[in-house]
Amino acid sequence: MKTDIEILTDIIQRRRSIFPVSYTKEEVPHALIRQILESANYAPTHKLTQPWRFIVFRNEGKVKLGQELARLYRMGTPIQLFLQKKYDSILEKAEQASCIITLNLKLHADKVPEWEELASLACAVQNMALTAEALNVGAYWSSPGMLADLKDYLNLDEQEKCYGLFYMGHHNEPPRKAMRESIEEKIKWVES
């Protein structure tokens, strides 16, 4: 029987971004989405601000979100830089995903700096990614340039910002080995 650390290490090392093109048509059930989001709720948070906020888009909701993202891309891109392929890809990703979760942050400027709140959100998203991996649900964090323009569409208040989209779906991707350099190249030891 594997120890807790062996299980945790295995999940961490096999977690990969799985993109919507690899998702099957099988819907990720509401209960699994809630389980993934519940894991996010246990991320570290300075002064217990718990700044993460999520909006889950499913079914027609995710299609409409994709249409809004595509519209924002078209409106915000100079005609000479506009790519129909990218526009179409935005719509396709929304169709292929079982759900799209917006990764929002509620700032508490009176308590902690924004970077600490963002670090908490990133930890929450890592918890989501690891839980999704453990449940064999593909996921990835996307941060398209249109995020800043989603504020009104998402009905965010003045203290809230959207930092990404978390796409999820069941998949049949084979495991892939991580492309990481040795940790020894990234550590300095100071002992005296």
H-helix or E-strand containing 62? helix 59-76
Q: Digits of tens for pLDDT over the chain (192 positions)?
A: 999 999 999 999 999 999 999 999 999 999 999 999 999 999 999 999 999 999 999 999 999 999 999 999 999 999 999 999 999 999 999 999 999 999 999 999 999 999 999 999 999 999 999 999 999 999 999 999 999 999 999 999 999 999 999 999 999 999 888 889 999 999 999 999
pTM, rounded to two decimals? 0.95
d(CA 155, CA 43): 24
Short-list 118, 138, 119, 117, CA closest to 128: 138
For 54, the 3-state DSSP assignment is strand
H-helix or E-strand containing 101? strand 99-106
DSSP label at 23? Answer: B
Region class of 186: left (phi > 0), else alpha (psi between -120 and 50), else beta: alpha
**What is the structure's pLDDT at 175?**
86
d(CA 3, CA 133): 18
Calculate the alpha carbon distances from 64 to 20, 87, 186 in Å: 16, 14, 43
Query: What class has domain 13-186?
Result: alpha beta
Count H helices, E strands: the chain?
5, 4
**What is the structure's pLDDT at 178?**
83
**What is the structure's pLDDT at 176?**
84
